[in-house]
Every structure is written in C-alpha cells, then in structure tokens.
C-alpha cells in the first residue's frame, strides 16, 4: 500500500481496495473515505491538520492518534499509546438461496438486499447510539438496518428499521470511548456482535466508505461528533411547556374545548398541534376555511391565551391543477421524477407528488411557503410522512429526487425537508421550532425529533428511556415520544405514569390516534388526574434546568437527556441501565414502568436526595415509592440547580430565580434570554455561574450580560425545605 501526503494535509492511500483519503481533523479525530465519495448531506467544509501530520512508512500520526495501516481498510488505531480500534474490510454479497417458501409463510427475508462492502471492528464493550432503534440501551447482540421506515405497528426489540437513520455509534471502553460515524445515505446494515461476539460489522448497499472516528471521554466524543454534523438550536422557551395533540382536532371549536379542558383541570398548556384535518383536502399550506375560519385572527386569539399552534406539513403534495403549490412545482420542475416524468404515488390528499428536496432551489422555494405559513398564525411546523411514506408501495429506487436517486436520497429526504423548513423560519425571522419524524445524522441542527407512532402499552413506555437515551448518545438533544402512546387506548394508570416518566423530555407532548380513546389529561379523574397534574407541575419547575441544558448543548455539545453511564462511566452497574435517566449532571428520575407497581428498586451511582422530601439515599440500591401521585425525582449530592418557583404554570421567565442546593461545594451555569426570537445569536442573553459553599453561601457570578435580567429575587432552599428569599444581586 502506498501512503502519499498531499499539500492539503490529506494522506492518499492506494492499494487493491482503491484510492482512499485520510484526514486528521483534530488530535482526537480522523476521517477515512473513498476518494470519489459523494458530497455529504450533513457535513460541511472541514479543516485539515496539514503540516502537523507525520507519515512514516505505513503509519500516520497526529496528536493523540497513531494509525497503523496494513491496507487502506485494514488498520489499527492507537489512542494515547493504547490500541483502541482495529478495522478490517469485508464484503457481504447477495443471498442467493431460494427463500420463497420462507416468504410464503409470512417471514421476512433479506432477498434483494445486496451490499457492496463494509468494515468490521474488533469490539467487546457496550455499544450505544444509532438513533431511535428499539431494544435496550446497550446494543450488543442486535443488528439493525438504516432505512427510514414508516411502520406504526407495535415495535418490539427485534425491529431493524424505524423512522430515522443516524449512522453513529459509540463503543465504550471505560475511561475512553470511540465514536464512529459512517456517513453513507444508502441502505446500511449494522451488526453489533450478533453474528460474531467479537465484531461490529457495517455494510453499505451503495456509495463508498466515508468514516469519521472520534476518541476520548464519552461526553467529548459526542461533542466532537456534533461539532461536525450540527447541534439542536435553542428552541423557543414556550416549546418546553405541555403540548397537546391528536389526529385530529377537526375544528377551531375542538381546539378551544381542549384549551378550556386544561384550564378547568388546572393544568398548564403551552401548545396545541393541528394534524392533517386543519387543511383543505389535506393540501399542504392550506386551511379549511369552514372548520377554521379567519385562521390568522383566530390563531392570534389563541396565542393571547398563552397557547401556540403547531401545524403539520406532509411530504406528499396533492396533484391538483389550480392548487398553487402544485402548479408552481410543475412549472419550475420541482417535483421528483422517474424516467423524465413527474412521479406520482398516493398519500393523504390522494394522488400526490413529492418535492425534489435534494435540489437547493427546491428547498428555498419550500422555505417561502413555510414562511407564509408562519405569517398566517403558526408558531411551529410539524414535518410528517417524510421518510417519505406512501400508500401505493414504496417509491422506486430510481426516482430522481433532485439530482440524487431515491436509493441514495431516501434516508436524507426528511433531513432535506427539515432544512427547507428551517430556511422558512429564517426567511420569517423566527426562532425555529420544527418537529420531524424522519431524520439522518445532523438533522438535529434543524429540528426537534419525536420517535413516531408508538403504542399505548407499557412495553412502549419502557422503551422510552433506552430509546431516547440512544437518541441523545447519537447527538440529538431535543427529543421526545408520544406521552400515553399514539396507537391504542391508554389506561388512566398508564397515562399518569407516562406523564411522570417523561418529565425530563425536552419535547413533552401528549398525542393519540384517530379512533382511539381521548387521552387529554382532563379526561382523567381522581388520583390519576392529580398524578398527571403533579407530573406537569414538576416539569414546569424543571424548565430552567432543561433550558440551561439545551443552551449548553448548542454551545458545547453536552447531552441533555443522559443515560447514567454518561455521568458515571466508571460504574459497570449502569452500563445497561434501562429504567433510570438523568437530566444534566444533577437530576435523576427512576419512574414506575409497570402496572400496579407501588415500589421499585432503584440504583443510585452516587449519594442523592429526594427532590420532594430531602431524604438522603446513599450510593447503592434502594427501594423507593413509585405509587400513583409520586414523582421519583432525585438530586445528586454536591449539586445546585435553577428551577421555577413552586406552582409555576407558564414558560415565561419568572421574577424570582429559585435555586435548589444540596449543600457543600456545588456549581452550575444558568442561562437567561428573552425566551424567543434570534437575539441570543447576537449576544442578547445572560449567562451566570452559580457557586455555592457552606462557607460563602450562594453567589451568582455574571459570565456574560447581554440583556436586562427578568429576576428581582432569589429563593434558595435545600431539597424538601421551604426557600429563603433575598434580592437578586450579582457578585463581582
């Protein structure tokens, strides 16, 4: 094999496998890719290490990394002198066996799956990531396929494909971790020690290898990865409140009844989602004027009550001459084609066409329509059916999506639609709030994500923690699932427990399907209504910490939702913890996940205190109370967090900053801005470092001052105790 250092800093690798390029992006990150690989849909221009890279024989080194090559795709990677990654090529060919009898009996087969090549890694450690796949937190022993798939059935552990394809995974080795990002948008297969307990295998159907490897601590690896693909922007603060949705609220009277129901139940509400029935004949960027007359004025009146509207937009555009979106797209050649003709399939509006989002001009055009939708009264956009989903079979692989065939564009179609929607918010001068079902690596820089059509069953509530944890480990900070479950009838107990288990989720949305029992919280009674109300009010207390965490994610890549292993990498007890989750460094939730459960065992990897009673729980296993009405929330020793005053029912910044302190040495950052708008991008925000000690008490130290503060007072309390108030004064 030949290794040639180029003036750009790249290293050209030549052998029988072809021509590859090696780039050191930092002392802890490199990229290895086929020389003729396609431009990335999610990675922009990269800086190379250039002159600092050292090449000797068949080795290349820079910073903490040394790579030893026995071939372009056969290498050993040493990090800080220790062998931490071995890679070898392999090819998985088409299965030529006769599988017809297997298929007749109803089994799935891999017939037709043909992979061009791939690589294997030697690994015997926990594996995390790959987005919203099913199964436990640790993915060892499972295999998955990255091919965005709309399947509303009850997903179980063995489901290989769901709505998102995020080809990033993390192999955890205690102190050090290795993150691997395979930037290939075709259908890809990942085998995490299933066929061979020593190997992680990756196979791609089209394109070539384009691999990024990141080394360091788990938080650093994820931060470095997101610095390349992008991070969730800070959402408007109202989006952290309670959101209510259903397929569908079919008139403005139904929406007003929802708002009234929340008010009468004494439960705060920040947002209502409008599913497809608000549209005129399910046509994007239209409103049914009979069921939602004077939409813009009505939306303004709803907003006056503190409730925002998020409107759904689907990928399929109704093929109807005279419909302006369709006419413009046809005239300008903006829809997907097959053999030179506009491709048609069926979605909700019937005969439909699909925007060719791979083309930049099409994304700009779509952004114009989104901006118009926002000016008409919508506060946010909900992108759905963007895998893309279709009713008359999947789109053929040769459909042209704007210069890229469906076979290579499928997994990024939703990503590109989200980018187009983001452009619309930019055109409107709004802070973006987009929710998407389909996604790829880097989609987070445009959109919040939800996990799609789950079911009203305990198994899917239990799936939430490992699923959202792995989304977080895949670089997605703003995420949630449908509280209560989308499909099927939720029971009062399940709904109340789900509302409790989801209080950390940045997206806190109750959503249900047409034909199911209504599950708005005000449909509950007695202890279940009280439990749901307590969960939401607790959530509202935590909004400052959630907002702080989202700011720190955007600015530094820190995870918001955290599996315990993220904060406690030295504790093997938490490597596959599927029933507990943390928010930032300090808060831990150990919810009830089974019917009738009144107590459960919970593991605490450090000393913690009950958020509500102040009871101390030393490191180890404890039996805790999780009966209806109990929120099993705990705050870590040596912590201080920002919270809203008790009883808060708004997402606005209060005039009193509440601080909960466990005692001893503690510190945190607290972020403040106007709660909406783009001013924070121009420095219009405040950032405070809050320090606490028994000797000096609590000090609020300004790090950045860009706006007039909302705060006039501070409340300081220990967990479970009444607060002491004082004026809001900054220290030097």
Running DSSP on this structure, what letter comes out for residue 204? E
Confidence of residue 732 (pLDDT cuts 50, 70, 90): confident
Contact 151, 158 (CB under 8 A): no
Closest CA to 339 of 413, 402, 399, 396: 399
Cα dihedral 98, 102, 103, 109, rounded to 10, equals -70
Q: Half-sphere exposure of 386 toward its Cβ, with a 13 Å CA cutoff?
A: 32
Confidence of residue 710 (pLDDT cuts 50, 70, 90): very high
Q: 346 catalytic, yes or no?
A: no
Contact 298, 272 (CB under 8 A): no
Retrieve residue 322's tokens. 């005279």
What pLDDT is attached to residue 158? Answer: 81
Task: Kindly tell me if the per-residue pLDDT of 309 is higher than 70.
Answer: yes
Interatomic CA distance for residues 32 and 202, integer angstroms: 15
The position carrying tokens 């813009």 is 296
What pLDDT is attached to residue 529? Answer: 99
CATH number of the structural domain 640-727: 2.60.40.1180
Confidence of residue 114 (pLDDT cuts 50, 70, 90): low
Taking every pair of C-alpha atoms in the chain, what is the biggest distance, in angstroms?
Answer: 77
What pLDDT is attached to residue 109? Answer: 45
Burial 312-342 (b: 16+ CB within 10 A, else e): bbbbbbbbbeebebbeebbeeebbbbeeeeb
What pLDDT is attached to residue 380? Answer: 99
Burial degree of 274 (CB within 10 A; 0-12, 13-18, 19+): buried
Angle at 470 between CA 465 and CA 471, to 5 degrees: 100
Q: Which alpha helices (DSSP H) does 345-433 contain, by range? A: 360-375, 406-428
Spatial CB neighbours of 258, under 8 Å, sequence gap ≥ 6: 244, 249, 269, 272, 520
Q: 384 catalytic, yes or no?
A: yes
Catalytic choice (453, 493, 520, 715): 453
Q: Which carries the bigger pLDDT value, residue 524 or residue 124?
A: 524
Task: Kindly tell me if the per-residue pLDDT of 111 is higher than 60.
Answer: no
The position carrying tokens 């101390």 is 616
Task: Kindly tell me if the per-residue pLDDT of 567 is higher than 60.
Answer: yes
| pLDDT mean over 500-522 | 98
Interatomic CA distance for residues 146 and 441, integer angstroms: 11
What pLDDT is attached to residue 113? Answer: 58
Task: Kindly tell me if the per-residue pLDDT of 105 is higher than 50.
Answer: no
In this structure, the chain runs to a length of 732
- Which of the following CATH numbers is that of domain 2-229: 3.40.50.300, 2.60.40.1760, 2.60.40.10, 3.30.70.360? 2.60.40.1760
| pLDDT mean over 693-702 | 95
Task: Kindly tell me if the per-residue pLDDT of 91 is higher than 70.
Answer: no
Interatomic CA distance for residues 140 and 474, integer angstroms: 16
Interatomic CA distance for residues 200 and 189, integer angstroms: 11
Percent of the chain at pLDDT > 70 equals: 96
Q: Which carries the bigger pLDDT value, residue 16 or residue 652?
A: 652
Task: Kindly tell me if the per-residue pLDDT of 101 is higher than 50.
Answer: no
CB atoms near residue 523 (< 10 Å): 16
Model-level pTM? 0.96
Query: pLDDT for 141-182, tens place per residue?
Result: 999 999 999 988 888 888 899 999 999 999 988 778 999 999
Task: Kindly tell me if the per-residue pLDDT of 77 is higher than 50.
Answer: yes
What pLDDT is attached to residue 96? Answer: 46
640-727 and 2-229 share a CATH fold:
yes
CB atoms near residue 391 (< 10 Å): 12
Q: Across the strands, what pairs with 347? A: 350
Retrieve residue 254's tokens. 């139904």
Task: State the DSSP H helix or E strand holding residue 466, giving kind and residue range, or none if neither.
Answer: helix 458-473
Q: Which carries the bigger pLDDT value, residue 83 or residue 632?
A: 632
Task: Kindly tell me if the per-residue pLDDT of 104 is higher than 70.
Answer: no
The position carrying tokens 């990897």 is 605
Spatial CB neighbours of 127, under 8 Å, sequence gap ≥ 6: 138, 139, 140, 169, 170, 171, 172, 192, 193, 200
Closest CA to 251 of 298, 216, 197: 298
What is the full DSSP assignment across 649-677? --SSPPSEEEEEE-SSSEEEEEEE--SSS
Confidence of residue 197 (pLDDT cuts 50, 70, 90): confident
Task: Kindly tell me if the per-residue pLDDT of 95 is higher than 80.
Answer: no
Catalytic choice (384, 520, 554, 673): 384
Closest CA to 155 of 560, 453, 538, 429: 453
Per domain, the residue ranges of the chain are 2-229, 640-727
Q: Half-sphere exposure of 266 toward its Cβ, with a 13 Å CA cutoff?
A: 9
What is the full DSSP assignment across 625-639? E-STT---EEEESS-
Confidence of residue 49 (pLDDT cuts 50, 70, 90): confident
Confidence of residue 708 (pLDDT cuts 50, 70, 90): very high
Provide the CA 433 distance to its chain's centre, in angstroms.
13
Mean pLDDT for the chain? 94
| pLDDT mean over 378-389 | 98
Task: Kindly tell me if the per-residue pLDDT of 227 is higher than 90.
Answer: yes
Q: 266 catalytic, yes or no?
A: no
Confidence of residue 92 (pLDDT cuts 50, 70, 90): low
| pLDDT mean over 323-336 | 99
CB atoms near residue 727 (< 10 Å): 8
Retrieve residue 619's tokens. 């490191």
Q: Across the strands, what pairs with 23? A: 31
What pLDDT is attached to residue 153? Answer: 81
Instruction: Assess whether the previous peptide bond of 490 is cis (omega < 30° from 0).
Output: no
3-state SS assignment for residue 230: coil
| pLDDT mean over 10-25 | 92
Catalytic choice (132, 387, 548, 606): 387
Spatial CB neighbours of 371, under 8 Å, sequence gap ≥ 6: 424, 425, 427, 428
Provide the CA 575 distance to its chain's centre, in angstroms.
21
């Amino acid at each position: 094999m030949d290794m040639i250092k180029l003036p750009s800093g790249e290293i050209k690798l030549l052998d029988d496998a072809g021509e590859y390029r090696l780039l050191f992006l930092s002392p802890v990150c490199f990229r290895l890719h086929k020389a003729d690989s396609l431009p990335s849909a999610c990675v922009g221009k990269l800086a190379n290490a250039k002159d600092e890279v050292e090449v000797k024989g068949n080795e290349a080194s820079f910073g903490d990394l040394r790579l030893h090559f026995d071939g372009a795709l056969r290498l050993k990677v040493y990090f800080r002198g220790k062998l931490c990654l071995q890679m070898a090529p392999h090819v998985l060919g088409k299965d030529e066996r006769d599988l017809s009898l297997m298929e007749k009996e109803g089994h799935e087969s891999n017939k037709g799956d043909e992979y061009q090549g791939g690589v294997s890694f030697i690994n015997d450690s926990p594996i995390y990531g790959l987005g919203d796949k099913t199964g436990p937190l640790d993915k060892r022993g499972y295999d998955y396929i990255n091919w965005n798939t709309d399947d509303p059935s009850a997903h179980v552990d063995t489901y290989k494909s769901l709505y998102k394809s995020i080809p990033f995974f993390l192999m955890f080795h205690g102190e050090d971790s290795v993150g691997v990002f395979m930037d290939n948008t075709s259908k890809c297969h990942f085998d995490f020690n299933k066929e061979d307990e020593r190997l992680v295998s990756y196979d791609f159907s089209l394109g070539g290898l384009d691999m990024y490897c990141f080394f360091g601590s788990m938080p650093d690896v994820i931060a470095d990865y997101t610095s390349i693909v992008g991070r969730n922007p800070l959402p408007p603060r109202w989006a952290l409140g309670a959101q209510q949705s259903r397929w569908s609220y079919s008139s403005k009277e139904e929406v007003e009844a929802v708002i009234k129901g929340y008010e009468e139940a004494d439960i705060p509400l920040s947002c209502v989602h409008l599913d497809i029935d608000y549209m005129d004949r399910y046509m994007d960027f239209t409103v049914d004027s009979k069921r939602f007359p004077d939409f813009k004025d009505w939306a303004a009146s709803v907003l006056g009550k503190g409730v925002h509207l998020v409107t759904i937009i689907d990928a399929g555009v109704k093929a109807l001459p005279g419909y302006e979106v369709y006419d413009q797209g046809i005239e300008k050649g903006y829809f997907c084609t097959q053999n030179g003709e506009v491709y048609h399939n069926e979605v909700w509006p019937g005969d439909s066409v699909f925007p060719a989002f791979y083309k930049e001009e099409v994304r700009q055009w779509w952004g114009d329509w989104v901006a118009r939708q926002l000016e008409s009264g919508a506060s946010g956009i909900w992108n759905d059916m963007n895998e893309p989903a279709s009713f008359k079979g999947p789109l053929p692989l040769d459909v042209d999506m704007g210069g890229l065939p469906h076979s290579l564009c499928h997994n990024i179609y939703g990503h590109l639609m989200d980018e187009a929607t983001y452009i619309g918010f930019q055109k409107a001068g709004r802070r973006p709030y987009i929710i998407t079902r389909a996604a790829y690596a880097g989609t987070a820089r445009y959109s919040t994500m939800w996990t799609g059509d789950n079911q009203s069953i305990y198994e899917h509530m239990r799936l939430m923690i490992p699923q959202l944890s792995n989304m977080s480990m895949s670089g997605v900070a703003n995420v949630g699932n449908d509280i209560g479950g989308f499909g099927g009838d939720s029971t009062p107990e399940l709904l109340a427990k789900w509302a409790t288990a989801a209080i950390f989720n940045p997206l806190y949305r109750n959503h249900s399907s047409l034909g199911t029992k209504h599950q708005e919280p005000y449909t509950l009674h007695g202890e279940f209504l009280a439990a749901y109300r307590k969960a939401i009010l607790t959530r509202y207390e935590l909004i400052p910490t959630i907002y702080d965490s989202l700011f720190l994610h955007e600015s530094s890549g820190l995870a918001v939702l955290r599996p315990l292993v993220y904060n406690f990498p030295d504790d093997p007890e938490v490597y596959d913890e599927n029933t507990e989750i943390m928010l930032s460094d300090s808060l831990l939730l150990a919810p009830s996940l089974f019917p009738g459960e009144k107590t459960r065992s919970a593991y605490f990897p450090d000393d913690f205190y009950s958020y509500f009673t102040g009871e101390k729980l030393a490191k180890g296993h404890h039996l805790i109370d999780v009966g209806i009405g109990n929120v099993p929330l705990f705050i870590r020793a040596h912590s201080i967090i920002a919270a809203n005053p008790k009883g808060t029912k708004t997402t606005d910044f209060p005039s009193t900053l509440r601080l909960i302190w466990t005692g001893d040495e503690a510190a945190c950052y607290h972020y403040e801005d106007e709660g909406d708008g783009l001013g924070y991008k121009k420095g219009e925000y405040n950032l405070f470092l809050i320090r606490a000690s028994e000797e000096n008490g609590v000090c609020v130290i300004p790090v950045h001052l860009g706006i007039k503060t909302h705060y006039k007072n501070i409340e300081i309390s220990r967990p479970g105790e009444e607060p002491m108030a004082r004026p809001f004064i900054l220290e030097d």
